[in-house]
Amino acid sequence: MSDKIPTPHIKASKGDIAESVLMPGDPLRAKFIAENYLSDVKCFNEVRGMLGFTGTYKGKRVSVMGSGMGMPSVGIYSYELYNFYDVENIIRIGSAGALQDHVSVRDIVIAMGACTDSNYGFQYELGGLFAPIASYELLSKAVETAKEMPIKMHIGNICSSDGFYTDKKFAEKWRNMGVLAVEMEAAALYMNAARSKKNALCIVTISDHVFKGESLTSEEREKGFGDMVTLALATVLK
């Protein structure tokens, strides 16, 4: 752990954050998870409104913190968690838009890899394109856990895009490569984990379908996102 804490973006002290962190994009969702799934909850961060909490889940210490939207935002927070607070595991939990016909709203996608149109990886000066992938340890635990749950699950590649409002021609190209869904954060998280020699996984719930025009209602989002949170927490326990 670096002695440079608190960081510019996280006010936590040494020991405030657990070794495993769930990261939804929305800080208010982090608050909801902390209040409804964890016990003995303590807030460790409010800087810039990016809420972070630590509590216990079935006896295990777990933290949950918002990441914000996009790769620059999750890049900052995951870097500081890995390199300043000795966090070992980060599981991103969020929403994604389906690209493939066999992937439907409410389905859960476990991201084995994360393609991207971002230049985030150029900071490493690799002279080539890095393939961001999940940590196998977390991936295998999540898949094993998901098989025991009454959910529809897909495992494969997703795309982390810098753009939210993009032309369908963009989505069609990724769709043609077999990419399951599109979101905005996983690739940066996977790169930070690789560089920090830590573990990362992205689990997303399909909230809409890019080509079919389907989307979840607010009530359906509540249940679907609940399954995803339960899966992530069960993965941490294994």
- Residues with a catalytic annotation lie at 208
Closest residue by Cα to residue 117 from 64, 188, 168: 188
At how many degrees (to 10) do helices 218-237 and 136-146 cross? Answer: 120
Q: b/e map of 122-138 (b: 16 or more CB within 10 Å)?
A: eeeeeeeebebbbbeeb
Query: For 8-108, where are the alpha helices, taking DSSP H only?
Result: 27-37, 71-84
Phi, psi of 67 (to 5 degrees): -115, -15
- What is d(CA 115, CA 157) in angstroms, rounded to the nearest whole number? 7
Phi, psi of 115 (to 5 degrees): -65, 165
HSE-CB of 96 using CA atoms within 13 angstroms: 35
Closest residue by Cα to residue 200 from 130, 123, 113, 117: 113
My answer on whether omega of the bond before 6 falls inside 30° of 0, hence cis, is yes
